Amino acid sequence: MDSPLLEPYRGPALQLPNRAAMAPMTRARADDATGVPTPIMTEYYAQRAAAGLIVSEGIWPHRLGKGGPGVPGLTEPAHVEGWRRTTRAVHASGGRIFAQLWHVGRVSHPDILGGEQPVAPSAAAISHGQIFTASGLKDYVVPHELSTAEVAEAVESHAAAARNAVDAGFDGVEINGAYGYLIAQFLSDSANLRTDGYSDHVRFAIEVVEAVAAAIGADRTGLRISPDNPLHDIVESAPGPRYHRLLGALDGMSLAYLHVVQSGTYAALEDLRPRWNGTLVATYDGPEPGSREQAETALRTGLADIYAFGRLFLANPDLPRRIAAGAPLNAMRETGMYGGDAEGYVDYPCLSG
Ligand SMILES: Cc1cc2nc3c(=O)[nH]c(=O)nc-3n(C[C@H](O)[C@H](O)[C@H](O)COP(=O)(O)O)c2cc1C
């Protein structure tokens, strides 16, 4: 069946056989004590190698960046060795995979961080909701406000993890600046109450992107943002001007891509696409999984060059083939979404034949 999702993408940095990417999804199956990826994770990603591009689950670039049990890391040689198994398997199956670097900042807990306090731009706790730890749901704690020197260390940790990602065989990295985690905390009014140079909301994001691009090349560096997304108590007054400024600083850098999650009331894709000359990956986030129709419209209208599906790829390892065949899609089950074993993880069927 004809679909723009099945057309190859030939960008300055990325060459992909199709435009249906797999969005980053935390599945919490790494060894919790060490953050080392487990063999079943290799099987999961290799099953999805038909994606134009796989973006891995969020991976912590710093020991204090971990946001939950079973989330993998990319700071130690053992992490690099573990991820190498996965990148080899994805490449052997004909795929491409970027590592998502995910520092959660204040969206963590001492129970997740071996007793250490989470860090953030300011000592402002999340007041809504609770965080999942190995011993159940806990209230958020007041985070430690990063000193200016500690901010520099946080920036550098992204560059070091990016080098590890390339060492582990990833084709590039996506920096997670979305969903209220550390970079989005700096971008916000509610979590960034600083009075030093980082009171400029976009500065930390720009420094992280520059450091990663300097470490592994701009052509292997992507950035994910979710303007106006309120998750984790994030408030961004006037997201438009804020993100215009961010894009203004990054547009000339020839990054691999900008990944825009559209979810709030602000029409991020419509507003930002004309301000971004590089490759744009889009994801719509709402109660229902982003659909084939939404993706095709975004591609046809030029709002996006590539579309990243989350939940549809979770439940359909062979999503591009199903799109090509016009075949029905597996429904996602709630079982095994975060943590657990093979169930709900590597047991979704592919089309036969
Ligand atoms: C199980 C699950 C885990 C997720 N983990 C991450 C993550 O680690 N990093 C991230 O940027 N987004 C994460 N997301 C958000 C997805 O990448 C995507 O933006 C969202 O699911 C909307 O796309 P969809 O409607 O196609 O699922 C996650 C989503 C799901 C369902």
Q: Among all residues, which ones are annotated catalytic?
A: 181
Spacing, Cα 313 to ligand 1 middle (Å) = 10
Check if 58 has its Cβ closer than 6 Å to any atom of ligand 1: yes
Residue 134: pLDDT above 70?
yes
Task: Give CA–CA dist 307/63, Å, rounded.
Answer: 31
CB–CB of 226/261 below 8 Å?
yes
Is residue 125 predicted with pLDDT exceeding 80?
yes
- Give 230-284 pLDDT, tens digit per residue: 999 999 999 999 999 999 999 999 999 999 999 978 999 999 999 999 999 999 9
Atom number in ligand 1 closest to CA 263:
22
Looking at residues 164-180, what average pLDDT do you find?
98
Taking phi over 0 as left and psi of -120 to 50 as alpha, with beta for the rest, 237 belongs to: beta
C-beta of 174 in contact with ligand 1 (< 6 A): no
* Tens-digit pLDDT profile for residues 135-152: 999 999 999 999 999 999
The mean pLDDT of 28-42, rounded to a whole number, is 98
The per-residue pLDDT for 121 is 98
Q: Is 118 in the pocket of ligand 1 (CB under 6 A)?
A: no
In short, whether 73's Cβ falls inside 6 Å of ligand 1 is: no
Q: Judge if the beta carbon of residue 269 lies within 6 A of ligand 1.
A: no
- For residues 31-42, average pLDDT: 98
* pLDDT tens for each residue of 201-222: 999 999 999 999 999 999 999 9
User: Amino acid identity of 248?
Assistant: G
CB contact set of 139 (below 8 Å; sequence gap of 6+) = 130, 131
Which atom, in ligand 1's list, is nearest to the CA of 285?
22
Q: Domain map of the chain by residue range?
A: 4-325
Closest protein CA for atom 7 of ligand 1: 25
Whether 1 has a pLDDT exceeding 80, the answer reads: no
**pLDDT level of residue 352 (50, 70, 90 thresholds):** confident
**Interval between CA 285 and ligand 1 midpoint (Å):** 8
The mean per-residue pLDDT over the stretch 187-191 comes to 98
Q: What mean pLDDT is reported for the chain?
A: 97
Q: Decide: 337 in ligand 1 pocket, CB within 6 A.
A: yes
12/315 Cα distance (integer angstroms): 31
> Which atom of ligand 1 is nearest the CA belonging to 24?
17
| Chain-centroid distance, C-alpha 292 | 20
Rounded Cα distance, 58 and 204, in Å: 19
Which DSSP state fits 133?
E
Distances (CA, A) of 236 to 195, 239, 315: 17, 6, 33
State if residue 282 touches ligand 1 by the CB under 6 angstroms criterion: no
CA atoms within 13 A on the CB side of 83: 31
- Non-local (6+) Cβ contacts of 238 within 8 A are none
- Which residue's CA lies nearest to atom 30 of ligand 1? 25
Mutate to test the pocket of ligand 1, among 5, 22, 26 (most ligand atoms within 8 A of CB): 26
Options 3.40.630.180, 3.40.30.10, 3.20.20.70, 3.20.20.150; CATH for 4-325 is: 3.20.20.70
Distance from Cα 197 to the centre of ligand 1, integer Å = 31
CA of 27 to the centre of ligand 1 (A): 10
- Output the pLDDT for position 185: 98
Taking the CA of residue 176 as reference, the ligand 1 atom at the shortest distance is: 11
Alpha helices for the chain (secondary structure H): 39-47, 77-92, 148-167, 182-187, 203-216, 239-250, 268-272, 292-300, 311-315, 319-325
65 vs 108: CA distance, rounded Å: 8
Rounded distance from Cα 24 to ligand 1 centre (Å): 6
